[in-house]
Chain A
Amino acid sequence: MKLDGKIIRRVVTVSIGASALATALSASAYPFSKEELAEQEAALLSAVDKGYHLWHGSNPAMTTNGLACGNCHPDAAAANPQTFPKYVPMFGKVVPFREMVNWCILNPQAGKALDVNGEDMTAMEAYAFYLHRSKPIEPGLAARQTAPIVVDSGTGYPRKPTGIGVDK
């Protein structure tokens, strides 16, 4: 495209205008207000927290032999959520992470599977993915264990500490 001086000036003017508008919207957190964003964050962390407790045995129906997800997957390690969907030999097909969660509940834990579209499953997924935030999405990866985030203390997500021991 051939640009003369007039067109260039117009493009620059429009760009500056768009940039200023974007900055202004950013300050007001467009398309959501700060309050709305805070509510959304709180809702997510509530789901993550529910998932954390489910992960560690809060629903007795998920096991008949005492095992919880956390037995084999501390801090959701080796759950590899970001590698799904992938082909899983036990299914003989490509499955999403939720199906793998139910496989673990049904087999190693000998428990009752969760509703794959229910709130508990969403919470489990929220926890597992939150502990893998910023990790590369690698659908199909099956050859190696991936790593969750490094958790120095607490539970790996913002929450009110218990005030007990070193959890302060």
Chain B
Amino acid sequence: MADIEDLSRRRFLGITGKLGLSTLVAQAVGIKLGMVDIVSAQTGKAAVTPFRFAIISDAHLYSEPGHKFDAQLEQAVAQVNAMDPLPDFVLFGGDVAQNGTEDQLVKGQKILSKLKMPLKVIPGEHDWYLDMGTAWRGLFGDETWSFDHKGVHFIGMNGILVEDFWTPAGMSPKERMTVMEMLESPIPGPWGVHAKQLEWLKKDVEKLRPDTPIVVFTHGPLWDYYPRWNFQTKEAPEIREILSKFAHVMSFHGHVHQTVFNKIGNMTSVGALSTSWPWPYPPVTKPFPESQMNRVDPSIATDGMGTQFVDLKGDGFGIYQHVPFEEGVLTDFLQKGVKV
């Protein structure tokens, strides 16, 4: 799997190679060790070096040159680049493109390349269903990944896989994409990560210590918020079960274009603001109604959109802070930052 810390890890292995034993053990068992892992192995308690990372999500870029959503993604990049302290890296939560065309994905990559820090990306349905991920993979790499950073294990998965409805119907790629572009389409049904990624997840975490803080990143929420709009991930119960051995799991997701918080067992879950437009709140009661942002003002073109960052502390817990483009949309609960 791609690893955001490849460079630093190689540097680490080079340094510790002089120490001998730790490097030999690490290489022999094939475990990706970082400095924090060595510290925790010595103390018997997981340790996190406090750090910040940012989340940008749901740009939905159109092909039209100079489309307003281009400028909104630019604004998000500028907002993250101006954060103090700077995030160590940025996660992008899916839907770079609106119609899945290569030009839209390339445009998104070009804008996101202006970030000062490394970027990790997962796909959304708008990125995927024109060519089943071919262009996306060519630009952003594997859609399933994990890496360790300062004592925290990060996992990204492709959570927008649906059953094949297009082959029996004889649909063209464009027709398939059109179906998937519509949030409330009656055709695709619930999406998820499917069996292969579940197997990957089991193996990815099997050797991790239970006190390792986990961040899992998917396009849709890992709970049944509103399946009608795919505000869900079909295999969320299985994912939560696989991750149930850990003391603390943080699930962050895009797709909902709104603030929403939940807590299930050992997992906290937070939804990201988009850079394109805010989705309405669905007609269901939320487990934490206070996490609903104020009503968006349609006369303000970028109201209810923005970016977010997470400050993780030494104990592996953190604060998730939405950073809207416009003031006034965050409730008191949200302004304080959401504890994750």
Contact = CB atoms under 8 A, between A and B. Distances in A.
A153 B186 contact: yes
Contact of A149 (B64, B279, B283): B283
A72 B277 contact: yes
Interface in B160-189: 162-163, 165, 168-169, 171, 179, 182-184, 186-189
Contacts of A140: none
Q: Which of the listed residues A89, A154, A164 has the most CB atoms from chain B within 10 Å of its own CB?
A: A164
B282 interface: yes
Contacts of A148: 283
Nearest to B98: A66
A144 B296 CA distance: 9
A56 B186 contact: no
B62 interface: yes
Contacts of A74: 182-184, 229, 279-280
B284 interface: yes
B280 A70 contact: no
Given A75-B228, A108-B298, A145 B281 contact: yes
Given A65-B64, A66-B98, A144 B295 contact: yes
B259 to A, nearest CB: 13
The B interface, classified by DSSP as helix, strand, loop or mixed, is loop
B184 A151 contact: yes
Nearest to A70: B182
A77 B283 contact: yes
A165 B228 contact: no
Given A65-B67, A77-B283, A150-B283, A70 B277 contact: no
B75 to A, nearest CB: 17
B45 interface: no
Nearest to B227: A152
Categorize the interface residue count of chain B.
Answer: 35 or more
Interface string A136-167: 00000001110111111111000001101111
Contact of B282 (A77, A152, A161): A77
B299 A165 contact: no
A145 B295 contact: yes
A155 B168 CA distance: 22
B184 A165 contact: no
A164 B117 CA distance: 43
B64 A66 contact: yes
A4 B298 CA distance: 65
Contact of B187 (A103, A149, A167): A167
B278 interface: yes
B32 interface: no
Contact of B277 (A71, A149, A153): A71
Interface in A67-117: 70-75, 77-78, 89-90, 103-104, 108
B11 interface: no
Contacts of A65: 62, 64, 67-68
Nearest to B188: A165
Contacts of A77: 279-283
Contacts of B163: 165
9 contacts: A65-B67, A66-B99, A74-B279, A90-B298, A108-B298, A150-B283, A162-B186, A166-B165, A166-B187
